[in-house]
Homo-oligomer: A and B are copies of this chain.
Amino acid sequence: MAMSLNDTPRAMRLHIGLFGRRNSGKSSLVNALTGQHVATVSSVPGTTTDPVYKAMEIHGIGPVVFIDTAGFDDSGSLGALRVERTRDAAKETDIALVLFSCMPDERAGVGNEDAFDWLERLHQCSIPVIPVISRIDEGGGADALAEAIETKTGVRPVCVSAVTGAGIESLRTEIARRLPEDYRARSITAEVCASGETVLLVMPQDIQAPKGRLILPQVQTLRELLDRKCLVSCCTTDCLPAMLQSLAKAPDLVITDSQAFRTVHAQLPIGSRLTSFSVLFAAYKGDAPFFAESARKIAALPRDAHILIAEACTHKPLRDDIGRVKLPRLLKKKLGEGIAVTVTAGHDFPEDLAPYDLVIHCGACMFNRAYVMSRVAACRRAHVPMTNYGMAIAALLGILDDVVIPGVD
């Protein structure tokens, strides 16, 4: 019986990318690190070129997901699609393990060149990389290889054997040491409300999740507020007046679905701060100051602006879909009918951003922070402003200055 409902959401797990050839010992390394003898706790089998995700727990680190990339194939040749998929996996990677072998298969002409290549690529993407020499129980030459890696890259590799357990504890320590600085402290709500405050969540349910379910940002936010000992109230948009009346005093903070921004803003009690789930996720998963600055530029876009709307989900468009219907409607109301809107979904995001005047991203509840930040970096490189649904809607409604944004005064 599937228990995935009760697991930590994948997007909240530390993403550890494994870069290495098949038979380089990736699976047994994963088992050794997690202390498990089964191959996977949960895995999403991919095609031969898709990465495989393995959700696990590492003692001292917590919930992680290993991304077993298909970057190097057995023969060492890198097909174009494999490279592309592996590059996509790199975008999601919080920490990369690049596997070197002291017994490269010389007969097949396969050395460690690929590993050196990927180490260099990952460095260039500012992804923390740990070089690993695997299967040291099976052959000699690890010391010489370690020297070579350190000389070439300036990083000392960790030598491991999944069989004897040698080096596994060192590798675990090294992963913990290289965790992104804010990884453990990262919070959705800490910057917008204090522990113990009263928080009202406006959660319209009409077109969101199917029966019996709440969408992930609502669940994650509510759970964190409870953990932070906040007093939480929840209602649908139409019940907001009654909900406010049922409270002894105005809530300290109101978090609304961005689609109800206008209605909630109009009814906001004096003394209550206002934000939205999507605005909170802009900071949790992205670059809130950049998103806010970009949102403020919307009004000044040219009348023939080309705007890219990027959805993480590949769901079938809903009636009144926010990305495909509501946002384009708001944008046209503001900027006129001359603008062009392109919608992409899932991992389908253009390499060349030059044609666009603005990117508006969804809340990205299905993506991890590293992946959203890779898109932020791409937009910054191309000098294209990037914002998200919540901030764009607030800006288009002219209420962005009344919205609390984490990390933005």
- A residues contacting B by CB (< 8 A) are 1-10, 12, 44, 62-63, 196, 198, 203, 205, 209-216, 219-220, 222-224, 226-227, 229-236, 238-239, 242-243, 245-249, 312-315, 346, 366
Contacts and interface: CB of A to CB of B under 8 A. Distances in A.
A210 B6 contact: yes
Contacts of A1: 44, 312, 314, 346, 366
B10 A215 contact: no
Given A226-B205, A248-B245, A3 B315 contact: yes
Name the 5 nearest CB pairs between A and B, nearest first: A8-B210, A232-B234, A12-B212, A233-B233, A212-B220
A209 B223 contact: yes
A6 B216 contact: yes
A4 B10 CA distance: 11
Contact of A231 (B213, B214, B239, B346): B239
A246 B220 contact: no
25 contacts: A1-B44, A1-B366, A3-B315, A3-B366, A5-B213, A6-B209, A6-B313, A6-B315, A7-B210, A8-B210, A9-B213, A12-B212, A198-B246, A212-B219, A212-B220, A214-B223, A219-B219, A226-B234, A226-B236, A229-B238, A229-B239, A231-B243, A231-B246, A233-B233, A246-B247
A363 B350 CA distance: 47
A213 B222 CA distance: 9
Given A1-B314, A209-B223, A246-B249, 16 more contacts: A2-B44, A3-B313, A3-B315, A4-B4, A5-B9, A6-B216, A6-B313, A6-B315, A12-B212, A196-B239, A211-B223, A213-B219, A213-B220, A231-B233, A247-B248, A248-B248
Contacts of A8: 210-213
A12 B211 CA distance: 8
Contacts of A248: 245-248
Contacts of A205: 223, 226-227
Nearest to A234: B232
A218 to B, nearest CB: 9
Nearest to A347: B1
Contacts of A210: 6-8, 63
A264 B239 CA distance: 26
A230 B234 CA distance: 9
A186 B6 CA distance: 24
Given A3-B315, A213-B7, A213-B8, A231 B242 contact: yes
A75 to B, nearest CB: 29
A210 B220 CA distance: 11
A313 B235 CA distance: 31
A44 to B, nearest CB: 6
Nearest to A235: B231
Contacts of A315: 3, 6
A5 B6 contact: no
Nearest to A248: B248
A214 B312 CA distance: 22
A66 to B, nearest CB: 15
Contacts of A4: 2, 4-5
Most buried by B among A1, A203, A212, A232: A212
A243 B9 CA distance: 28
A212 B223 contact: yes
Contacts of A223: 205, 209, 211-214
A213 B5 CA distance: 8
A248 B211 CA distance: 31
A156 to B, nearest CB: 33
Contact of A5 (B5, B211, B212): B5
Contact of A219 (B198, B214, B245): B214
Nearest to A204: B226
Nearest to A215: B6
